[in-house]
Structure 1
Amino acid sequence: MLYARTFISLISMMFVAVPVAQAQETSPVTAIVESWMTSPHGDRKSEAFVHWNKDGAVPEDCATCHSGPGMLDFLGADGSAAGKVDAPAPTGSPVDCVTCHNQAAHDLQQITFPSGEVMTEASPSAICMVCHQGRESSDSVNAAIAGAEDDTINGDLGFINVHYAASGATLFGGAVRGGYQYEGKTYAERFAHVPDFNTCTTCHDPHTTKVVAIDQCVACHKGAETMRDIRITPADIDGDGDAKEGISAEISTLHEKLGEAIQLYAKDVIGKPVAYDAHAYPYFFNDLNGNGTADPDEAKFPNSYKSWTPRLLRAAYNYQFLAKEPGAYAHNPRYAIQLAYDSLEDLSSKAEIDMAGMTRP
């Protein structure tokens, strides 16, 4: 409670010109703090904030997003130079009230993505995008595979992990190259939604991070009972004959087929079966018994998959990008579909993959 009262006081002083005690009784600050404390940003016991406890500090490369003081350092809100973290950050310090409610965060409008592209975001979404952008891009994949033969195993290659919930990169799509974008293809850029629902904080409660209620969407998306029921095209994207299912289902089917195609290519083309486990780093493992599943004795770091070809790595990067971006159907569905479709198409140039009926927007 001391921790909660500290931030109640801070936010009270920032937003109301009355004594803190009175503000606690008459303002919604208490409810806001309670919402924050049950949110992912306030979960002090989550892996995102306890991973470095044994080390005693969060290293500079991780501190921006995994420590409130680290973000303040990155923003320059602590008096340091903006744009970098100068020192390790303390553990046990989640994304709290002052992490986002400070002048530097309020003024932030330029966001640099992993590709090096700098985008302007003149809304409260800017502070969200500092972290929710991933840590890799098409550019880093291309740098890794440069000069290598597409279908030859290269021992110098390792899996490139986008590093989770790259929602900002999905939103800006092709402009920032967060997913792997294939040469010669065009990609949807920023997903333009209606003005009242076109920023992170108009669709997500900024304190709980939960998505707004569906009743705010059905005025336009009539008949939808959940967010995932919303459909944006009459096309049967995944070729399953159902042109009424939500766009989320279309993307999920493409994603599932991409996973199957990755395994087919690895087994039939390069002769090195692979299996995926969404909860075990580094996610792709040698499928020792060939059953298509990363069994508990296989999903271990010493059994990490190391038989990468450039073609396989490109597809696996996009598979993980979509696996760790569950909101892609809302953030930029066309971009998500294009990434999955193009990965399937690329693999199908070597493996027998059925893409009959699939459509690329």
Structure 2
Amino acid sequence: MRNVFPIFIILLFLVAPFLPSGGTGRGAAQEANVTTPGAAPAAGNEDTIRPYVIPEGGPFHPEQIAIENSRAIADWHRSGHANAASASFSHWDEEGAIPPNCSVCHAGAGFRAFHGLDGSEPGLPAEPVPIGGVVDCQTCHDPGLSRIEQISLPSGVSHPVQGVEAACLTCHQGRASGQAIEAAIGDAPEDRPNPDLRFINPHYATAAATWLGGYGGAGYHYAGRDYSGRFFHARPIGTCASCHEPHSLEVATETCLTCHQSGDPEEIRISRHSYDGSGDTSVGIHSDIQSNARLLMKMMKDYSGAIAGTPLVYDGHSYPYFFADANGDGVADTADGRAQAYASWTPRLLRAAYNWKLVTADPGAYVHNPPYALELLHDSIADLAGPLEVDMDSLGLLR
């Protein structure tokens, strides 16, 4: 104890030059009339005390401090949800704002406005939403998501949700349903081109629409046919996050190995039957769906030329995707430098094209709901087979 006082004197001597006048420590400076660095002294007080700022020091630097959510943030940052340069978020850059109906899924601010999470009344934003937004953290982590109990689908079905499911199903349900096709075609003759018909786009990344199947009503359902409902898979695979890492969106392929011999979803079969007529059951069900989708597209092209009178071509990079090809050269017709949208739709061709687009718009349909995808393709092929005089039995397809 006898050595403590001299040591204290030495320490005080060393730090004295850094102490503000009128006090012996930081507390005195805080109680005095201090100014912000760089600001002018208070009027009438030329001797205003300058605050003492503790210099940087210590063994830690910010980049060395562990952040609990750093891994999740890094995973999100490299996901499609965070890619502000992608077409999903940059499509409206030239316009300078995102239309209210598009902003719901293409900007976090639009999503929160739609569900009233920002304090507004739930519904479409009243004004266009500024560009630059993505599916940000608050889109999926807003505490208000817990209050959303159901999501309305384009078919009119209200599906119950819990937590982050509200975000997934809001934006991956598509924007049309089989009911929209029925309303458009009405009772018009099946095979007569109707100039009032236009292609109805189910939209993109329609995973939730596929997953809910016939219950969700996203596809066009042919009369007299039953359709598989929600694809329940095997427990505990019951939600989007069961298979997708929620931040990177990558598929947790190791989960597949719990029941399947392969961790590659494209190699998983789920059935010992061949649905595409090939008889090959050594490949994944993904192959059957792709094969039947190719067949349906071929039949749509055949039908468009032979029955509708104007061949069509498909371009997945240009809206509205289906274009006229009057000379049958495989290239869209143009006028004034613009590709001509297909305008010879018949009710039969329109519903087949809609189902084809719905299935192919979900690249994971073979996982999300393979029975429903196969049923939509099969029935669309069968519907076109009649006027094309194609023997369905000869194709060897299973439904």
In structure 2, the residue matched to 1:18 is none
Supply the distance in 1 between the matched residues of 2:84 and 2:260 (Cα, whole angstroms): 37
In structure 1, list runs of 5 or more residues that go unmatched: 1-20
Q: Which amino acid letter does the alignment assign opposite residue 64 of structure 1?
A: V
Q: How does 1:66-81 map to 2 (within 5 A)?
A: 66-81=106-121
In structure 2, the residue matched to 1:164 is 204
The answer as to 2:276 corresponding to 1:276 is no
Counterpart of 2:239 (choices 199, 205, 222) is 199
Preserved contact between residue 108 and residue 127 of structure 1 (Cα < 8 Å) = no
In structure 2, the residue matched to 1:184 is 224
The answer as to 2:305 corresponding to 1:244 is no
In structure 2, the residue matched to 1:329 is 366
Supply the distance in 1 between the matched residues of 2:139 and 2:117 (Cα, whole angstroms): 9
1:23 deviates by 11
Counterpart of 1:234 (choices 251, 267, 272) is 272
Supply the distance in 2 between the matched residues of 1:353 and 1:146 (Cα, whole angstroms): 26
1:206 deviates by 1.0
Supply the distance in 2 between the matched residues of 1:229 and 1:270 (Cα, whole angstroms): 38
Supply the distance in 1 between the matched residues of 2:135 and 2:235 (Cα, whole angstroms): 27
Supply the distance in 2 between the matched residues of 1:34 and 1:160 (Cα, whole angstroms): 38
Q: Which amino acid letter does the alignment assign opposite residue 260 of structure 2?
A: H
Supply the distance in 1 between the matched residues of 2:353 and 2:195 (Cα, whole angstroms): 16
Preserved contact between residue 123 and residue 199 of structure 1 (Cα < 8 Å) = no
Runs of 4+ in structure 1 deviating by more than 6 angstroms, as ranges, are 21-24
Supply the distance in 2 between the matched residues of 1:296 and 1:36 (Cα, whole angstroms): 42
| TM-score of the aligned structures, taking structure 1 as reference length | 0.88
2:283 aligns to what SS in structure 1?
Answer: coil
| Cα deviation digits, residues 267-316 of structure 1 (max 9, x gap) | 1122211111111211111123314x346969x85411000000000000
In structure 2, the residue matched to 1:357 is 396
Supply the distance in 1 between the matched residues of 2:64 and 2:349 (Cα, whole angstroms): 56
| Cα deviation digits, residues 51-75 of structure 1 (max 9, x gap) | 2122221111111001110011012
In structure 1, the residue matched to 2:297 is 259
Q: How does 1:24-39 map to 2 (within 5 A)?
A: 25-39=65-79
Give the 3 Å change call, closer, same or farther, for CA 120–328 of structure 1 in structure 2: same
The answer as to 2:382 corresponding to 1:345 is yes
Give the 3 Å change call, closer, same or farther, for CA 102–24 of structure 1 in structure 2: farther
1:26 deviates by 2.9
1:195 aligns to what SS in structure 2?
Answer: coil
1:324 deviates by 1.0
1:28 deviates by 4.1
Percent of residue pairs identical: 41
* Number of residue pairs the alignment of both structures matches: 336
Supply the distance in 1 between the matched residues of 2:103 and 2:374 (Cα, whole angstroms): 32
Preserved contact between residue 124 and residue 200 of structure 1 (Cα < 8 Å) = no
1:285 aligns to what SS in structure 2?
Answer: strand
In structure 2, list runs of 5 or more residues that go unmatched: 1-60
- Kindly name which structure, 1 or 2, has the bigger radius of gyration based on alpha carbons: 2
Q: Which amino acid letter does the alignment assign opposite residue 257 of structure 2?
A: V
RMSD: 2.0
| TM-score of the aligned structures, taking structure 2 as reference length | 0.80
